[in-house]
Amino acid sequence: MSTVFYTATSLDGFIAAPDNSLDWLFQFGELEPNTFDDFLAEVGAIAMGSTTYQWIYDHDFSADADNTQPWPYQVPAWVFTSRQLPVIAGADVRFVSGDVRPIHQDMAIAAGKKKLWIVGGGDLAGQFYDAGLLNEIVVQIASVTLGGGAPLFPRRVDPPLKLLSARTYGQNFAELRYGVLPPRSANDV
């Protein structure tokens, strides 16, 4: 089992626009080919932040949604939040808060031999990194800049990530895959 932060980012390093919108990403339509479907088939549990969950809810489930969609995941999802969020009927969503370590243990049990996917956001992925629980970062870099918003990974990474692969997809995306080494502690310096 490995814990993977798989996400998309703008060229200037933001995963969401200043208003937390992901609309900038959908202007590209479906990428063919891409690695997402194969990756998703390997996922056994999901972690997401409250802003990501709220965006999914607002766009696909709320009464104001233009085109309601079914919950897109067949595996349990843990939503890390410090606030009350709406519930999506029929979705295996577990609202949690606090330290990621004990929750990661529950997620690992649910995932079995499959991957644990950190959907978003960057700070949540950073909390897994800080705890020494993040194994890989896969980032799709889009050919747009946002000028601000939610940062990709608001942490200093030391030692550096290990580049595992780099690929292009279509005319607008590059995928970088990194292995994560355990963070250095103050005692290592």
Residue 28 lies in a domain: yes
Q: Report residue 163 as tokens.
A: 């580049």
Residue 183 lies in a domain: no
Residue 138 lies in a domain: yes
Outline where DSSP puts E strands in the chain.
Answer: 3-9, 14-16, 43-49, 77-80, 93-96, 115-120, 136-142, 150-151, 162-169, 173-179
Q: Residue 17: give the domain boundaries.
A: 3-176
Count of domains for the chain: 1
Residue 186 scores a pLDDT above 60: no
Determine the average pLDDT of the residues in 101-116: 97
Q: What is the DSSP letter of 2?
A: -
Which has the minimum average pLDDT: 127-131, 134-138, 140-144, 182-186? 182-186
Determine the average pLDDT of the residues in 109-124: 96
Residue 186 lies in a domain: no
Determine the average pLDDT of the residues in 110-115: 97
Q: Report residue 182 as tokens.
A: 């355990």
Residue 31 scores a pLDDT above 70: no
Residue 41 lies in a domain: yes
Please report, for the domain that includes residue 62, its CATH number.
3.40.430.10
Spell out the residues 6+ positions from residue 150 whose beta carbon is closer than 8 angstroms to its own. Answer: 14, 15, 16, 20, 51, 120, 121, 122
